[in-house]
């Protein structure tokens, strides 16, 4: 289970956060409590979080409900957006028009001081591999992180070619994705969800 943090004021204002260490607002704290009450029913054995406050505080709500200590892993931090952090989309378009146009065209361009999607995806994937490798049969871990790095990191973990990463939509605040091991290895069972997984009653299983 991979879970995005609750809302921040920067989210509400449309500001790029990246690795800027912002905090949950009152809506985000309420979202975390509501989502954690459902995720606690999965009885996670591990909760591993980005060390940035908005993710760690979200994870701590679940930890308090389940009695599971929250572990921090810097590899789960949001992607660094460098000079775009603290700016809206329109401000970035005005200040960095050529780079933004290349980015919108699908070029994994590097803004000053930033990571590429490939770099962020690789570090996040390594962290998820470590968590997955220590899970027993039928055990659940919850990884708490950030929208952009969750999207590209999950794709990297699953081995999806980078040209397909843009085909998967972003994460709402406090939504999650469920990964499970199937016949062909790890796969997506739910994406950007807000409800607990239910059995798939299908011939495809």
Superfamily name and number for 2-193:
Phosphoglycerate mutase-like (3.40.50.1240)
As annotated, the active-site residues are 5, 78
CA angle 144, 115, 3 (to 5 degrees): 10
- Cα distance from N-terminal residue to C-terminal residue, the chain: 20
The residue among 24, 14, 36, 18 whose CA lies nearest residue 194 is 36
Per domain, the residue ranges of the chain are 2-193
pLDDT tens digits, one per residue of 13-61: 999 999 999 999 999 999 999 999 999 999 999 999 999 999 999 999 9
pLDDT tens digits, one per residue of 60-117: 999 999 999 999 999 999 999 999 999 999 999 999 999 999 888 888 878 888 999 9
- Whole-prediction pTM: 0.93
Asked whether residue 205 carries a pLDDT value surpassing 70, the answer given is no
pLDDT tens digits, one per residue of 140-180: 999 999 999 999 999 999 999 999 999 999 999 999 999 99
Asked whether residue 192 carries a pLDDT value surpassing 90, the answer given is yes
């Amino acid at each position: 289970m991979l879970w995005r943090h609750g809302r921040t004021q920067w989210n509400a204002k449309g500001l790029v956060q990246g690795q800027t260490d912002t905090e949950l607002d009152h809506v985000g704290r309420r979202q975390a409590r509501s989502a954690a009450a459902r995720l606690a029913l999965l009885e996670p054995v591990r909760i591993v979080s980005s060390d940035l406050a908005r993710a760690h505080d979200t994870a701590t709500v679940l930890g308090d409900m389940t009695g599971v200590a929250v572990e921090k892993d810097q590899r789960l931090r949001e992607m660094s957006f460098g000079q775009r952090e603290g700016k809206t989309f329109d401000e970035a378009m005005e200040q960095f028009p050529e780079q933004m146009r290349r980015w919108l065209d699908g070029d994994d361009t590097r803004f000053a001081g930033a990571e590429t999607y490939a770099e962020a995806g690789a570090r996040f994937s390594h962290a998820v591999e470590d968590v997955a490798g220590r899970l027993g049969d039928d055990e659940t871990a919850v990884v708490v992180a950030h929208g952009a790095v969750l999207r590209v990191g999950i794709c990297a973990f699953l081995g999806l070619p980078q040209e397909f990463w843009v085909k998967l939509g972003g994460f709402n605040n406090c939504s999650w994705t469920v990964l499970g091991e199937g016949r062909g290895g790890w796969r997506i069972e739910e994406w950007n969800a807000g409800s607990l997984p239910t059995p798939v009653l299908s011939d495809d299983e």
